[in-house]
Structure 1
Amino acid sequence: MLNPGMAYQKTDFHIGIPLLSNIYVSLGNTDFSMDAIFNANDINANIEEVLDRMSSEDFLAFNQKLDLLHIGWRRGKRYYSAGAYQEIDAVSNFPKDLIELAYYGNAGQNRSYDLGHINTKVNTQTVFHFGINQQMNENLHLGARVKLYTSSLNARSLRNTGRFRSRTDETGLLLTQTISNLNLKFDSTGIENADELTPGNLLFGSNLGLGFDFGLSYIIDDKLEFTASLLDLGFIQFSKDTQRLTVQGYYEYEGLEIQFPDFAQGGDLVTYYQDLGDDIEEALPSETTSDAYTFVQPAKMNLGLSYRFGSVSGSYDCTLTPARERFGNQTLSLHVFSMANAGNLFYSINAMYERRFWNAFYVKASLGVDQFNRPNYGGGLALDAGKVNLFLNLDRLNNVTNLYEAKALAFQFGMNLKF
């Protein structure tokens, strides 16, 4: 799925074990670990240290994929694939100023808070796909995949602006609070009626989209191979069960100017606060519509270069006949990945070493950097014996002995049958 143009092994047909052919989970943030907050030191001091280090550029990300069905078959020099997978993808920047406002309060701070730090995207989808891999000659494979996206649950809030200012006068008695240049946007689908969503609604979404994957594999010589892919060039058009909220305006509140209700004359706090609320709503009008909106998929790029060497004893699965064979039981490779999501850059550069034992058992180790860890360690195991293919990958192993110190973790497992 990372490259529809890979040089496939000599396989006429494969099928993934439903719900087990690929399970992937990744969670991470760019700022802190659980141990940074929950340790032997004073928790308030820990939180203040984290807040002091935090930036509005820091973010939290979660991605989960589950293959529902995946099959592939060869016909001539083409290899076809089809299937469906479920995915949850979420990215949110840390709204540093708002977190500090919530933690410290605004009394006596005399500062300005940037409301534009609100930046988040969440999408759940089921993707149906069909791909074709064409062997062009003994060196080159090209591939493409078309995807049908379906979704019933989505939320985003991007490109917000606004400032909240809080200040006191020289006496320290008059508190003035101002909201200026406010323009907050929140688009959602299915959130309002989330309690009514069923597993069927989530699996087969009522909003549709279209996307494409492209890839290639070029065998430079008997030992060297170059690969590249562009994934998820597509979108979803959300038009059913949508809600689009916009809040704009300017408001200034000076605490001592507000007169409390005259209880002797029958005034009450309910009416007082209702009038205050009406005043704020008038100054900061909101608009809610059910208009459609377009959600652009985060496109992904992969580049790879691998060099195979070592023992050539025994048979070895290679590329589709009559493609050029590559020999060796060891591989050194370099992989580069990049993706932009919610204005944040996701990237990784990894050097990997792979060793094959007994023509069936594979071990891989990786060292690199990504947006969460510098350096980043990873490892993988695979069994490719007869008709059975199993694999297990663990990424971001820097703190595997103490998960509380980890900023990020990633796990992948799969089980497939080949014929």
Structure 2
Amino acid sequence: MKFVPILFFVLLSNTLWGQDNHLLYNQTHNPQSLMLNPGAAYEKTDFHIGVPILSNVYASVGNTVLNVDNLFNTRDFNTNVAASLDRISAKDFVAFNQRIDLINFGWKSNSRYYTAGVYQESDAVLNFPKDLLQLAYYGNAGQNRSYDIGQINFRGNLQTVFHFGINQQVNDDLHIGVRSKLYTSSVNIKSVRNTGRFISSVNQQGFLLNQSISDLNLNIQSTGLQSIDQLTPGNILIGSNYGLGFDFGMSYFFNERLEFTGSILDLGFIRFTKDTSQDIYEGSFDYGGLVIQFPNFGSEEDLIDYYQDLLDDIETNLLGETTSRSYTYVQPTKINLGLSYNFGKEARPCTCSLKSGGKRSGNQTLSLHAFSMVSAGNLFYSLNGIYQRSFWKVLYAKVSLGIDQFNRPNFGGGLALDVWKFNLFLNVDRLNHFNNIYNAEALAFQFGLNLKL
């Protein structure tokens, strides 16, 4: 079926729960917020531990242009496919991110709060190769055009991260933090900065199709794909390739109402050395059609294998090489910035100022949060206005309105509950699409359960 490539991309981006955590960012009553800013002014407990596997579960998926309704509506399906192909560009992409905390804990020591833990994460970014999708759908019969092979652009990684962090209260106004990370991975794939064009043209007589590939430089690097059917939970958890990374963060109170926060996450890399594969194709090739030749049977010539000759010609002109060279995967670095203003009355007489070490006053907060990340050459960004209110220092409600790379207004909401020693939270993004998820380009959710002592 010629529409399968298009259908695959659209269904991928709408059937997975699909890197922005603005609803959790700076929730200082929640120890998980330290994962987004190791320098946050966390309302320190003596100790916290997350419920294994349930302390922080996050998933998001989105694409910048298509949704299920673009294909499946009252109009003719083939018309919808053609319209979708016209709508997309090579700059549009599908993105997926998933994360589960396997264990997370922290403890207070004097003016410092230490954290440690392990989480599993997978993420992928895939650009829509518009030219190649059109080639797959329409074919190139009778076409006089050039197709950009360089639109092939993707990266994906499955990793486990071991981390240790320190949150330091410098004074009443300033908190700083740093976290070190050990990355381990057994599965990775990337192909970026490719070049090349496939050109088809009809000759002057209008019946012979000339085809050529020019300036091809296609490089696909992968790890673990050759033996992916042999993966076990053990070697997913502890991969055969390792890397290092760091997070940095800070929080500064201008006064008891106004606070500035910022963090840089995942400044790091993984060096892939085991079970790797690099497939490189480069060169140029011109094909003007098969020239039929009849063998001289009197001289006992064999039938000519035209297609084998064609394959030999392609292999001669388009050099292909497969090696097991090592390569480096640079982590997508994330930047968070926040500015918040606290106001309103205290929910109840508060004696936590010395314990928290901060100047936060009031039970309501208005804030701005900005996020950016570059992955596979694509810019991820968001800017959100957020309102939060606490009730009796037990119930926390949060709503947000913003814009991001998925090009639509985004409404989000979150609830958190501190009951006895437990902190339970739930954040859901893109609430404006939940009445009809078939119209959604992106969805995200997050929840967790932590014990605070």
TM-score tier, shorter chain, comes to over 0.9
**Letter of the structure 1 residue corresponding to residue 71 of structure 2:** I
**Letter of the structure 1 residue corresponding to residue 291 of structure 2:** I
In structure 1, the residue matched to 2:292 is: 259
User: Are the equivalent residues in 2 in contact too, given 1:34–1:405 (CA < 8 A)?
Assistant: yes
Q: Verify: 1:125 aligned to 2:148, yes or no.
A: no
1:70-109 superposed matches below 5 A: 70-109=104-143
In the alignment, the residues of structure 2 paired with residue 345 and residue 162 of structure 1 have an alpha-carbon distance, to the nearest angstrom, of 23
In structure 1, the residue matched to 2:22 is: none
In structure 1, the residue matched to 2:224 is: 190
In the alignment, the residues of structure 1 paired with residue 148 and residue 178 of structure 2 have an alpha-carbon distance, to the nearest angstrom, of 44
In structure 2, the residue matched to 1:64 is: 98
In the alignment, the residues of structure 2 paired with residue 313 and residue 398 of structure 1 have an alpha-carbon distance, to the nearest angstrom, of 30
In structure 1, the residue matched to 2:88 is: 54
**Letter of the structure 2 residue corresponding to residue 133 of structure 1:** N
Deviation at residue 53 of structure 1 after TM alignment: 1.3
User: Are the equivalent residues in 1 in contact too, given 2:41–2:358 (CA < 8 A)?
Assistant: no
What secondary structure does 1:273 align onto? helix
In the alignment, the residues of structure 2 paired with residue 33 and residue 260 of structure 1 have an alpha-carbon distance, to the nearest angstrom, of 51
User: Are the equivalent residues in 2 in contact too, given 1:8–1:319 (CA < 8 A)?
Assistant: no
Q: Verify: 1:280 aligned to 2:314, yes or no.
A: yes
Deviation at residue 178 of structure 1 after TM alignment: 0.7
Label 1:170 to 1:199 Cα distance change in 2 as closer, same or farther (>3 A): same
User: Are the equivalent residues in 2 in contact too, given 1:329–1:356 (CA < 8 A)?
Assistant: yes
What secondary structure does 2:431 align onto? coil
User: Are the equivalent residues in 2 in contact too, given 1:77–1:320 (CA < 8 A)?
Assistant: no
Scaled by the length of structure 2, what TM-score is found?
0.89
In structure 1, the residue matched to 2:70 is: 36
In structure 2, the residue matched to 1:368 is: 402
What secondary structure does 1:321 align onto? helix
In the alignment, the residues of structure 1 paired with residue 247 and residue 294 of structure 2 have an alpha-carbon distance, to the nearest angstrom, of 65
User: Are the equivalent residues in 2 in contact too, given 1:318–1:325 (CA < 8 A)?
Assistant: no
147-156 vs 325-334, which moves further? 325-334
In the alignment, the residues of structure 2 paired with residue 66 and residue 139 of structure 1 have an alpha-carbon distance, to the nearest angstrom, of 33
In structure 1, the residue matched to 2:13 is: none
In structure 1, the residue matched to 2:372 is: 338
359-368 vs 230-239, which moves further? 359-368
Scaled by the length of structure 1, what TM-score is found?
0.96
Deviation at residue 170 of structure 1 after TM alignment: 2.2
In the alignment, the residues of structure 1 paired with residue 201 and residue 422 of structure 2 have an alpha-carbon distance, to the nearest angstrom, of 68
In the alignment, the residues of structure 1 paired with residue 349 and residue 324 of structure 2 have an alpha-carbon distance, to the nearest angstrom, of 61
In the alignment, the residues of structure 1 paired with residue 233 and residue 349 of structure 2 have an alpha-carbon distance, to the nearest angstrom, of 46
Deviation at residue 204 of structure 1 after TM alignment: 0.5
Q: Cα RMSD over matched residues?
A: 1.6
In the alignment, the residues of structure 2 paired with residue 58 and residue 130 of structure 1 have an alpha-carbon distance, to the nearest angstrom, of 36
User: Are the equivalent residues in 2 in contact too, given 1:373–1:396 (CA < 8 A)?
Assistant: no
In structure 2, the residue matched to 1:236 is: 270
Deviation at residue 225 of structure 1 after TM alignment: 1.0
For each residue in 1:166-200, what CA deviation from the matched residue of structure 2 results, as whole angstroms up to 9, or x when unmatched?
A: 01112211110010000000000001111111111
Q: Verify: 1:179 aligned to 2:213, yes or no.
A: yes
Deviation at residue 140 of structure 1 after TM alignment: 0.5
Label 1:319 to 1:416 Cα distance change in 2 as closer, same or farther (>3 A): farther
In the alignment, the residues of structure 2 paired with residue 206 and residue 340 of structure 1 have an alpha-carbon distance, to the nearest angstrom, of 26
101-110 vs 307-316, which moves further? 307-316
Deviation at residue 318 of structure 1 after TM alignment: 5.2
Label 1:157 to 1:316 Cα distance change in 2 as closer, same or farther (>3 A): farther
Q: Verify: 1:299 aligned to 2:333, yes or no.
A: yes
**Letter of the structure 2 residue corresponding to residue 110 of structure 1:** N
In structure 1, the residue matched to 2:11 is: none
In structure 1, the residue matched to 2:202 is: 168
In structure 2, the residue matched to 1:22 is: 56
In the alignment, the residues of structure 1 paired with residue 96 and residue 240 of structure 2 have an alpha-carbon distance, to the nearest angstrom, of 23
In structure 1, the residue matched to 2:37 is: 3
In the alignment, the residues of structure 2 paired with residue 318 and residue 274 of structure 1 have an alpha-carbon distance, to the nearest angstrom, of 79
For each residue in 1:354-397, what CA deviation from the matched residue of structure 2 results, as whole angstroms up to 9, or x when unmatched?
A: 11123211111100100014211111111012211011001122
Deviation at residue 120 of structure 1 after TM alignment: 0.2
**Letter of the structure 2 residue corresponding to residue 258 of structure 1:** V
Match of 1:207 among 233, 237, 241: 241
In the alignment, the residues of structure 2 paired with residue 39 and residue 236 of structure 1 have an alpha-carbon distance, to the nearest angstrom, of 44
Q: Is there any run of 5+ residues in structure 1 with no aligned partner, and where?
A: none
Match of 1:225 among 259, 271, 284: 259
Deviation at residue 320 of structure 1 after TM alignment: 5.9
The number of equivalent residue pairs is: 417
